[in-house]
Structure 1
Amino acid sequence: MTNRLQAVDQRRQYARNDFTALRAFAQRVSASTIARLYFSEDENGEPPTAAGVERDLRGLQADLVELAIQHGSPVLAEHLKASTKKHGSARLSAIGLKMVEEAARLAVAQPAANHAVGAWFRPMIALQRKASGIDTLGELIDFCNRRGGSWWRAVRRIGPGRARRIVSWLRLHEATIGRSVDSDVDETEPFKADDSQIVEIGGHHQAVVPLERMALRASLSGAEGVNRAPAFAYIHARNDLEAVRAYLYQYRDQPKTLRSYTKEIERFLMWTVCVRGKALSAVLADDCEAYKDFLKAPSPAFVGPRATRSSSRWRPFASSEMSAESQKYAVRALRAAFAWLVDVRYLAGNSWKVVKDPVIVVRESDLQLERALPASLWNRLRAFIDAQCLPPPTRTGGLFGSHCCSAVTQACAARN
């Protein structure tokens, strides 16, 4: 991932990998071998062909020669012109190619925000194809800033190592691109808020923040929740926020489960405090039913584009419409969390226990009538079975036995 040469006609750009391939081509390495060693699939997932690679390398050489003639020394320019006149195209040795490359460096292009991503990153095919709305370098930076340190998880074939190199390259060229990559894009560990980032929610302050940035007003903390268990508790939790964190702590070695359960319980906690005006340990069954309805269409204040958890743009829901399966999962996750809080004697009862799962309508597939047997064939089948069920003169039972004949005939009649 390095600066690409912009040719005189402003149409073709090349990367370091292209120059490595061109050096091999100048040393008479076959085009098929070069294609296998230095080039990946195109935007359509097609492997490179030897003919295509040779054509591109000859085009690169022609571009370099043209740049070298314009920006190189007079001696080099005269040599290239004479070679082109004699052979139809300049023939370059390894030393001559190096001289041409050095001369062509004077025409190196600088990346800009409106440049296509594919023009600067060869392995970004999946990024352009799978991540919607990322066509330019500016859009790539915006995407990284929205998603934070885990932005690469939404892109196929981009792992953490490659993601770090991409971000490093974007930072290196921030001046010419005109966009900056946020500091939290470098996060590799889960976000942990410091004291200055804690926000108190509830009451008149209706901020929406993730669990690690959340603080609750005293009246909504759950320290005096009506559903608090009077018996000795098995966890040292003075309020609902500490109880929730104690519940999630048991999944510390299961990162995927921890992320899923954190998402569901922080959504419900924010809803109970900001929308319902209740502490988590004070919600009743009708509150849970109301939240189940809320999941069908979350309010706009809770919905926003995906962003890092440390960003002010973060919202608990990425869409205003949740699938029935997601709604069902949320209800079951909350029911399990409340059951645990009851088991450790933090809560007196499980308000979610009497709440039914959302109904999931499964559309039945249409009958394939074209594969059904026609009525004439059913009639022939019934006649054949009837004939087999009749006892022959020398035997007391038919092929199937008389006791099964009526059942088979009735089944055929029902289908007919």
Structure 2
Amino acid sequence: MANQVQQLTLPPPRTYSRTEFAALRARVQGVPTGKIARLYFDSDTTPYSEEPELLDRFLRTMRDDLVQLAILHGSPVLADHLRASIAKHGSARLARASLQMVEQASRLAVAEPMADHAVGLWLRPLIARHLTASGIGTLGDLVAFANRRGGSWWRSVPRIGSGRARVIVAWLRRHVGSLGVTVSADVDTSEPLVAPGDTVVIEPASGQLAPLERMALPRALSGGRGTNRAPIFPYIRARHDLDAVRAYLAGYAGQTATQGAYVRELERLMLWATLQRGVALSSLTVEDCEAYKAFLAAPAAAFTGPPVSRSSGRWRPFAPGGLSTDSQRYAVRAIRAAFDWLVDVRYLAGNPWRAVKDPRTVRRAQKMKIDRALPIGLWTRVRVFLAGRTDSAGPQGGRWRAARALLLLMGDSGLRIAEAAATRRPALEWLPADGEVPPTWLLQVIGKGDRERFVPVSEECIAALQAHWRDRGLDFSAPDAGAPLVAPLVIPGTKKAREKFGLDEDQEDGNEVPRQAGYSVRGARGLTSWAIRQLLGHLTDLSESERRQLARTSPHALRHTFGTQAVAADVPLDVVQRIMGHASLQTTTTYVTAERRRMRAELSRFTRGWPDRERSSGRGEFSEDTNETCSPRISSE
């Protein structure tokens, strides 16, 4: 039988990423292999940092692959040059210019980025690590994240400034063909879409949304001729509803949290009344109020969106998922109180919200979620792990030290997240020993309701703060130290951030030490969330229940941890109340869980012994001592 020609199937050419091309260029330019491994490759996904000889071998193989492709697909002159170099030296000797020609001739070897590719395959390790830590694992995730957040998407990712964001977005758009998804046209670092200071007219026809500080209303819906306007002399100079609302909010100047909450509720109502109902705020009726109460339970899609800057054109008044029943109840009560004030100052004739009942909510047996407090064993392990990270080098080490200081402020002193972010060095005082009272660090805290209290700060927390201050280049013991106790080490290069941290315009170092401001509440929450994710990744020997407990830990859960541990240590309730800043002692008694655990343990031992007592005495038999039917004795105590 004659031999038949068989088709030979060749394997596809090996492909390389942009990062690997950059590494080869660095190698050709004489950069040491160890430094290339640190600059271009992630130590968590490649072994090159520990074994640079593997990287050297890989780069030689990559060079030879590209040279062969260049010989096959390049110009005859380039091919002859490469063959001559191989014949003379055993392998092609490439200079910077010849490498560039080889790359151009070997375009077929370049891998096309795909949506399911990990970001570490195409982006620098530093950027990839921060993207991954923010939950962005693939290029498709990155595109979706940018489209969801808009032009300021990079603000949510540490170490991604506007310049890097612009380069990343441009690169993603160039590869839309292979990615299959593209960054939206309005995602640009030139956001906000409306220039700062410009007002946006809220008209039903346009559907454009804007926060209260940028809001303008058409004359017909401004409330200048609202049907509920008071006919007698008003106490405020308000021409329309926006003026009246701003006058009300001005009464809460200095109460940042309270004022922010009322701004949120009133701007939501005004946007809904204008865009959905087509009625002015001063013309709302009871029927309108009932309709808005129903709207709170299920906001329209056009009103919802992920959290972004209030100056962004993608800002929306509601978060995805709507409001909880407790939040709906709070909104109705806040609006009712605002309308009461508008009636008192004789801007409105009456308050239609008085006829609207609060949304029905579940009566909670235990309002504070103290079950989220960490058990003493788990909290101890967390503290030990945080202490072990104190000596870490590099930017991650500084972040660990900042996280440790923040977590101990909440877990050892019972501070709220806003209190921990706002405290400054002058509020921390060292008191020497006084008789039987040991030396103590006390921190002055201005908490909810502008109530002042003093809380103890542990020596471990002080050590963590001192290490964090050394990272910031500050002297913790300086008599004139006035900086925040905890502050970010890296400041974005934006004008707003530089003004916040008191940096001069001619200072270009993004790592300049902050002097005037610390973490925002949102930034402190982000640092806490990062630390919890890292703990879950490193504490691999946790039980399943411990992992679940740690995974649902929030900043407020650390405050509850202090409360439960203080009560378990028999600290008097009135002392715990003062430290926690509770207005009522009844709130503090929620932490009295030790007695409940003891009751359950005693009852468990009692019920487990029931069968044994029945077998030993016999059901219904008479006791020789009492002549009574044997039965379990339950103490009245």
Structure 1-normalised TM-score?
A: 0.61
Shift in alpha-carbon separation, 1:298–1:9, aligned structure 2, 3 A: same
| Aligned pairs for 1:263-342 within 5 A | 263-276=264-277, 278-283=279-284, 287-300=288-301, 302-303=303-304, 316-331=317-332, 333-335=334-336, 337-338=338-339, 341=342
**Shift in Å at residue 50 of structure 1?**
3.0
Per the alignment, residue 128 of structure 2 pairs with 124
Shift in alpha-carbon separation, 1:199–1:158, aligned structure 2, 3 A: same
| Aligned pairs for 1:151-190 within 5 A | 151-153=153-155, 155-157=156-158, 159=160, 161=161, 163-171=162-170, 174-177=173-176, 179=182, 182-183=185-186, 185-187=188-190
2:139 aligned to which of 132, 136, 151: 136
Q: Secondary structure at the match of 1:221?
A: coil
CA–CA separation in structure 2 for the residues paired with 1:304 and 1:313: 8
Q: Is the 8 A contact 1:145 1:182 kept in 2?
A: no
**Shift in Å at residue 80 of structure 1?**
4.2
Question: Quick check: 1:66 aligned with 2:65?
Answer: yes
Per the alignment, residue 207 of structure 1 pairs with 207
**Shift in Å at residue 238 of structure 1?**
1.8
CA–CA separation in structure 2 for the residues paired with 1:191 and 1:289: 33
CA–CA separation in structure 2 for the residues paired with 1:363 and 1:77: 82
CA–CA separation in structure 2 for the residues paired with 1:314 and 1:289: 26
Matched letter for residue 326 of structure 1 = S
Matched letter for residue 101 of structure 1 = L
Q: Is the 8 A contact 1:327 1:358 kept in 2?
A: no
Question: Quick check: 1:75 aligned with 2:81?
Answer: yes
CA–CA separation in structure 1 for the residues paired with 2:166 and 2:257: 25
Q: Is the 8 A contact 1:332 1:357 kept in 2?
A: no
CA-to-aligned-CA distance 1:190-238 (integer Å, 9 cap, x gap)? 844899963523xxx5836335465346166353331547333434x32
Q: Is the 8 A contact 1:223 1:240 kept in 2?
A: no
**Shift in Å at residue 312 of structure 1?**
8.8
What 5-or-longer segments of structure 1 have no aligned partner?
Answer: 1-6, 85-89, 380-410
CA–CA separation in structure 1 for the residues paired with 2:302 and 2:183: 27
Higher Cα Rg: structure 1 or 2?
1
Q: Is the 8 A contact 1:149 1:186 kept in 2?
A: yes
Shift in alpha-carbon separation, 1:176–1:35, aligned structure 2, 3 A: closer
Per the alignment, residue 105 of structure 1 pairs with 103
CA-to-aligned-CA distance 1:344-374 (integer Å, 9 cap, x gap)? 6534555557854763554766987974451
Matched letter for residue 201 of structure 2 = I
Matched letter for residue 65 of structure 1 = D
| Aligned pairs for 1:380-399 within 5 A | none
CA-to-aligned-CA distance 1:167-209 (integer Å, 9 cap, x gap)? 24433674553656535632456844899963523xxx58363
CA-to-aligned-CA distance 1:243-279 (integer Å, 9 cap, x gap)? 3455567899999888765543232123334555542
Q: Is the 8 A contact 1:288 1:355 kept in 2?
A: no
Q: Secondary structure at the match of 2:293?
A: helix
Q: Is the 8 A contact 1:298 1:317 kept in 2?
A: yes
Shift in alpha-carbon separation, 1:67–1:165, aligned structure 2, 3 A: same
**Shift in Å at residue 335 of structure 1?**
4.7
What 5-or-longer segments of structure 2 have no aligned partner?
Answer: 1-11, 71-77, 372-592, 611-632
Question: Quick check: 1:413 aligned with 2:635?
Answer: yes
Shift in alpha-carbon separation, 1:189–1:56, aligned structure 2, 3 A: same
CA–CA separation in structure 2 for the residues paired with 1:252 and 1:82: 80
Q: Secondary structure at the match of 1:200?
A: coil
Shift in alpha-carbon separation, 1:260–1:168, aligned structure 2, 3 A: farther
Shift in alpha-carbon separation, 1:19–1:330, aligned structure 2, 3 A: farther
CA-to-aligned-CA distance 1:83-110 (integer Å, 9 cap, x gap)? 55xxxxx597xxx464663344313559
Matched letter for residue 217 of structure 2 = A
Matched letter for residue 18 of structure 1 = A
**Shift in Å at residue 67 of structure 1?**
0.9
Question: Quick check: 1:18 aligned with 2:23?
Answer: yes
Q: Is the 8 A contact 2:193 2:313 kept in 1?
A: no
Shift in alpha-carbon separation, 1:348–1:192, aligned structure 2, 3 A: farther
Per the alignment, residue 231 of structure 1 pairs with 233
Q: Secondary structure at the match of 1:270?
A: helix
Per the alignment, residue 374 of structure 1 pairs with 605
**Shift in Å at residue 126 of structure 1?**
4.5
Superposition RMSD in Å: 5.1
Q: Secondary structure at the match of 2:318?
A: coil
Residue identity over aligned pairs, in percent, reads 31
CA–CA separation in structure 2 for the residues paired with 1:80 and 1:130: 47
Per the alignment, residue 359 of structure 1 pairs with 361
Shift in alpha-carbon separation, 1:414–1:298, aligned structure 2, 3 A: farther
2:223 aligned to which of 206, 217, 221: 221
Per the alignment, residue 397 of structure 1 pairs with none
Q: Is the 8 A contact 1:302 1:316 kept in 2?
A: yes
Structure 2-normalised TM-score?
A: 0.43
Question: Quick check: 1:243 aligned with 2:465?
Answer: no
Q: Secondary structure at the match of 1:264?
A: helix
CA–CA separation in structure 2 for the residues paired with 1:112 and 1:297: 39
CA-to-aligned-CA distance 1:97-142 (integer Å, 9 cap, x gap)? 646633443135597675744433232345356457x7336x6456
